[in-house]
Structure 1
Amino acid sequence: MEIPSLDEHAHAEALAQLDGLVKPVGALGRLEELAAWLCAVHGTVPPRPLDDVRVVVFAGDHGVSVSGAVSAYPRHLTAAMVRVFLAGESGVNVLAREVGAHVRVLDIAVDDPLDDVPDEVRSRKIRRGSGSIDVADAVTGDEAQRAFDAGVAAADAEIDDGADLLIPGDMGIGNTTIASALVAAVLGLPADDVVGTGTGVDDEGRARKVAVLERALTRRAMHGPMDTLASVGSACAAATAGFLVRAAARRVPVVLDGVFPCAAAVLAREIAPGAERWWVAGHRSTEPAQAFALKALGLDPILDLGLRLGEGSGAVQAVPLLRGARAVLSDMGRLADLG
């Protein structure tokens, strides 16, 4: 999938205009960087409004969560949370409403039939749960490709419906374990460096996560990003990667959330080099794997609020700042116009 370049002329023009606004040069700091990035994304100065923001939550279960050893919460909560999203009562639902963003949840690999939810939620389902990565591949190569394609289709659906800005969210008990495994596998890092406390496990729980990752990373050799997604990833990670690649290919900006979307982004960048130019990091997670992922992607988070909920909840908090960055170029006066 071909990834277009950002508009460097629009970026340079934005920087020049920012220096001519009624303020000291550089006085608006990171907002100026974001404004120039949006101009490069849209190819125009000022950038277009970010009115239609879409969050797509990719939900799935993981084999490593069956025993309860890697999470402080039981596995069945993944399916329960899908219903919470649909009821509009999750953290990301509440926070998204504050910025006028729309939230959609997709069952990619939830280990529950979810027969009581709308068909559109299950329309991208690849399988029920993923394999336990410490003893088996998460998914087959074919399933990884199908999940990637499901993410592509999800991005197309939102963009065709008018999305100005996309946010990939995640839901799955065991997600931080999978994200850590992907980051370690791609970047060649030891398990102990990337594993955090996830949903709030204690030191013993963290040690169990490290042991799971060590077994997963040595279980077999991985060749290429899709093989890595199949071996130590998940169907929802592959879907998130497809979503990110497609957004970049179609010139739609993305705000990344916490560790899981950032881990998928590392794989997406391997699949489609240059796609990372179309993404911005919404916030800094407390998970160490995210820090490694962001460094590899060359992204600096907009916010640092100590968040670790996932779902896209941190990324939506960055939306007002992006809108503010646009407003700076659109609405501020110019020094040249002062009497």
Structure 2
Amino acid sequence: MSVDGWRSVLVLGGIRSGKSEFAESLVGDTGSVRYVATGSPAGPRGDDSDDPDWDARVAAHRERRPAAWPTEETGADPARLLEILSGGKEGETLLVDDLGGWVTGLIDPARQPADDVATIADLATAVRESNARLILVTSEVGLSLVPLTTVGRAYTDALGTTNRAAADAADAVALVVAGQVSWLKRPAEVAAAPAGEPAAPAAPVVPATSPEVLTPTPTPAASADGPAADGQPAWSGPTMSLPALATGLVIQQGMSLPMPDENSPTQAHDRVPTLDLGGAGFGKLQRVVEFAAATQGVANPRPWRSPRVVLIRGDHNGGASAGTLPGESRRRADQARAGEGPIARLAADAGATLQVVDAPACAAMEEREVLTLEEVESALRYGWRLAEEASDAGVDVLVLAACGSGSAAAAAAVLAATTGAEPAAVLGRVVVPGAEIDDDAWMIRCAAVRDAMHRVRRNARSAKQVLVDLGGGDIAVATGLILGATARRLPVLLDGPVGVAAALVTRDLAGQARHWCLLPDHGEDPAVKLGADVLGLTPMLDLRIGLGEGAAALAALPLLRSALTLAAALPVHPAMAPDDATLAAHDSLDEPEDPAELPLSAWQGHPDAVDDVPAQRPAEEAAEPAAPSALDSWFDNAETDKPARSA
């Protein structure tokens, strides 16, 4: 298999569907690329007659692909394609566009009679056995009408048979419709991913079981965990459709995403005090039980068993990165990939998997837009896909972390744009190696944010425009991650300015997203404090850990899971349980008994108790009026104090 999980991919599509552009985008930085053109230079009719439309199509293909790609024409000899595929070398990429042209030559009357089925079988064998990385483009004819002519029927039959054989031989198959990509077949490595996802692979997931078993993960040239030198990075790969394509969902303002269950937190709140605890209860940790109850939709939530840490690295140029050592963010990311550093160690201790992804680098915010709108769209979809993949892998909670250079200044700019805050008030101090405070760097960052805010003062404040103007790639990926997690009902632990800034941006896209976020700690960061206040997120703890964004959440994760474990496992305290003899006698009756036949005391605190109190009482209890309670007295006094109302 190649580094992307496949060595051969078949790209299907109709006329002007975008299949060729999509296939070319799959190449990325894969070394040597050979373009194999199967169309006859003389045109589809095979003669030398003037055909301006055909000439224009050929010219468009030539202009779009890089000049460094050598081109081989096989239209005059269909057998030449099989020779090229069989002779492909390891490390070489062959882009064949398209199989329809090959079939045109195959059914040429001048070459008949020919055993077309056997030749197609030879093509499938060549695809399976080729040492090169293959990208095959073909036209989808299975959805079209049956042609009226004999030649037309022969062509569609032959191409349909070829497509089936090539799809069976290829590791992956994608269908492009109106520029939108849907995956019909995926290799085993990514088979769990939902249809319609972008083609670029997600960043490698490092199984963090313990620091000892965390080994460095190789970073191949075309992997998704970093931008390629000359090709497209994963975040900007072919992300032309969302994983939720089948539902018609797109990332846009005012999306309707699910909300957590509103009844379960109340039930969990009432249940926790009845548990068999030896003290006063969970304290502030009761909120994590209620949060988990809301996200899981049950009164007794299960503990998180499969957490995943997504560490996003996205560098910001210009004054935003003042005080940062060159290459520091890359070093941190590589350190995490190797299972080293605070994030990896804490993830290992928490039994979490670790995923390191690289967002697009950003321009200097004080000078111009940090990203284009197309780059922001791609980054949002990439983050969404990361959440989809995590959900499909069985992850039950995400921890959002970041390590980008200048990300704190970008987050401060987003807060200033979305909340109207003063940049200097939300920009944390700059700490350099040795735990020293660099005030000069802090002033440079403040000036950069101030100048950026002045530059965009007349721009719109929509979510995507804020990301284009100020937020950049890391915050865009984090925003997409939160939105995708919300769509999959997956809780997210925020920790640091990037995560909080992303959560603020989601308000304009889907207001439901913030209800799926939990803030373990604010870390004394002014941006996090203000953002949490605007979002309505109360920090669970006050640890003031400064080990990097995401570290505090990981440090708190075992404690949060301990509360969930106790809440799920502990029984009801005996003093709060119903009378066993009464319930046993009640359960032994042949016919169901009216709930009113049970004394009210037998139901108090019982987990099966209903909210409404039985209206009727046995005659024995009704005969003796109960002594008035303090609550009854309060109602009596309150009633007598009110003025009489007229009818």
**TM-score normalised by L of structure 1:** 0.88
Per-residue CA distance 1:107-162 (angstroms, 9 max, x = gap): 122xxxxxxxxxxxxxxxxxxx2110011111011111111111001111111111
- The alpha-carbon deviation at position 169 of structure 1 amounts to 1.2
Determine the structure 1 residue equivalent to 2:345: 94
Structure 2 residue runs without a partner (length 5+) = 1-254, 580-647
The one-letter amino acid paired with 2:381 is D
Determine the structure 2 residue equivalent to 1:319: 557
Segment of structure 1 superposing worse, 242-251 or 303-312:
303-312
**Is it true that 1:275 corresponds to 2:513 in the alignment?**
yes
Question: Could you say what secondary structure the match of 1:326 adopts?
Answer: helix
- The alpha-carbon deviation at position 41 of structure 1 amounts to 0.9
Matches within 5 A, 1:214-253: 214-220=450-456, 221-223=458-460, 224-253=462-491
Determine the structure 2 residue equivalent to 1:303: 541
CA 1:260–1:163: 2 relative to 1, 3 Å: same
**Is it true that 1:206 corresponds to 2:442 in the alignment?**
yes
Looking at structure 1, the residues matched to 522 and 352 of structure 2 have their Cα atoms a distance apart, in angstroms, of 20
Determine the structure 2 residue equivalent to 1:83: 334
- The alpha-carbon deviation at position 26 of structure 1 amounts to 6.3
Segment of structure 1 superposing worse, 318-327 or 83-92:
318-327
Question: Could you say what secondary structure the match of 1:320 adopts?
Answer: helix
**Is it true that 1:139 corresponds to 2:139 in the alignment?**
no
Question: Could you say what secondary structure the match of 1:58 adopts?
Answer: strand
The one-letter amino acid paired with 1:139 is L
Structure 1 residue runs without a partner (length 5+) = 110-128
**Is it true that 1:185 corresponds to 2:417 in the alignment?**
yes
- The alpha-carbon deviation at position 255 of structure 1 amounts to 0.5
Looking at structure 1, the residues matched to 404 and 290 of structure 2 have their Cα atoms a distance apart, in angstroms, of 35
- The alpha-carbon deviation at position 80 of structure 1 amounts to 2.1
**Is it true that 1:56 corresponds to 2:56 in the alignment?**
no
Question: Runs ≥4 in structure 1, deviation > 6 angstroms?
Answer: none
Per-residue CA distance 1:257-281 (angstroms, 9 max, x = gap): 1111111111122221021111100
Looking at structure 1, the residues matched to 525 and 355 of structure 2 have their Cα atoms a distance apart, in angstroms, of 25
Matched-pair contact (CA < 8 Å) for 2:365–2:470:
yes
Matched-pair contact (CA < 8 Å) for 1:244–1:265:
yes
The one-letter amino acid paired with 2:349 is E
Matched-pair contact (CA < 8 Å) for 2:265–2:290:
yes
Determine the structure 2 residue equivalent to 1:122: none
CA 1:58–1:4: 2 relative to 1, 3 Å: same
Determine the structure 2 residue equivalent to 1:169: 401
- The alpha-carbon deviation at position 72 of structure 1 amounts to 2.8
Question: Could you say what secondary structure the match of 1:3 adopts?
Answer: coil
The one-letter amino acid paired with 2:512 is G
Matched-pair contact (CA < 8 Å) for 2:303–2:568:
no
Segment of structure 1 superposing worse, 193-202 or 27-36:
193-202
Matched-pair contact (CA < 8 Å) for 1:73–1:199:
no
Looking at structure 2, the residues matched to 152 and 333 of structure 1 have their Cα atoms a distance apart, in angstroms, of 39
Looking at structure 2, the residues matched to 269 and 90 of structure 1 have their Cα atoms a distance apart, in angstroms, of 33
The one-letter amino acid paired with 1:292 is L
Which of 27, 48, 68 matches 2:281? Answer: 27
Identity rate, percent: 29
The one-letter amino acid paired with 2:446 is V
**TM-score normalised by L of structure 2:** 0.47
Matched-pair contact (CA < 8 Å) for 1:70–1:206:
no
Determine the structure 2 residue equivalent to 1:118: none
Matched-pair contact (CA < 8 Å) for 1:131–1:139:
yes
Question: Could you say what secondary structure the match of 1:8 adopts?
Answer: coil
Question: Could you say what secondary structure the match of 2:394 adopts?
Answer: coil
**Is it true that 1:73 corresponds to 2:309 in the alignment?**
no
Per-residue CA distance 1:191-233 (angstroms, 9 max, x = gap): 1211111434422222211111110111023320110011011
Per-residue CA distance 1:37-78 (angstroms, 9 max, x = gap): 21111011311231100011111111125xxx7443323122
The one-letter amino acid paired with 1:76 is G
Determine the structure 1 residue equivalent to 2:135: none
Determine the structure 1 residue equivalent to 2:357: 106
Per-residue CA distance 1:267-301 (angstroms, 9 max, x = gap): 12222102111110021123211111110111111
Looking at structure 2, the residues matched to 235 and 70 of structure 1 have their Cα atoms a distance apart, in angstroms, of 15
Looking at structure 2, the residues matched to 246 and 260 of structure 1 have their Cα atoms a distance apart, in angstroms, of 17
Q: Structure with the greater relative contact order (CA < 8 A, sep ≥ 6): 1 or 2?
A: 1
Determine the structure 2 residue equivalent to 1:112: none
The one-letter amino acid paired with 1:280 is L
Matches within 5 A, 1:117-128: none
Looking at structure 1, the residues matched to 287 and 529 of structure 2 have their Cα atoms a distance apart, in angstroms, of 20
CA 1:75–1:182: 2 relative to 1, 3 Å: farther
**Is it true that 1:293 corresponds to 2:525 in the alignment?**
no
Higher helix share: 1
- The alpha-carbon deviation at position 253 of structure 1 amounts to 0.7
Matched-pair contact (CA < 8 Å) for 2:399–2:494:
yes
Looking at structure 1, the residues matched to 525 and 293 of structure 2 have their Cα atoms a distance apart, in angstroms, of 31
Matched-pair contact (CA < 8 Å) for 2:302–2:568:
no
- The alpha-carbon deviation at position 25 of structure 1 amounts to 9.5
Looking at structure 1, the residues matched to 549 and 424 of structure 2 have their Cα atoms a distance apart, in angstroms, of 25
Looking at structure 2, the residues matched to 309 and 140 of structure 1 have their Cα atoms a distance apart, in angstroms, of 32
Looking at structure 1, the residues matched to 374 and 350 of structure 2 have their Cα atoms a distance apart, in angstroms, of 38
The one-letter amino acid paired with 1:99 is A
**Is it true that 1:329 corresponds to 2:567 in the alignment?**
yes
Looking at structure 2, the residues matched to 140 and 300 of structure 1 have their Cα atoms a distance apart, in angstroms, of 34
Question: Could you say what secondary structure the match of 2:359 adopts?
Answer: strand
Matched-pair contact (CA < 8 Å) for 1:50–1:164:
yes
Matched-pair contact (CA < 8 Å) for 2:507–2:514:
yes
Looking at structure 2, the residues matched to 24 and 277 of structure 1 have their Cα atoms a distance apart, in angstroms, of 32
Question: Could you say what secondary structure the match of 1:234 adopts?
Answer: helix
Looking at structure 2, the residues matched to 311 and 16 of structure 1 have their Cα atoms a distance apart, in angstroms, of 34
Matched-pair contact (CA < 8 Å) for 2:430–2:438:
no
Question: Could you say what secondary structure the match of 2:318 adopts?
Answer: helix
- The alpha-carbon deviation at position 81 of structure 1 amounts to 2.1
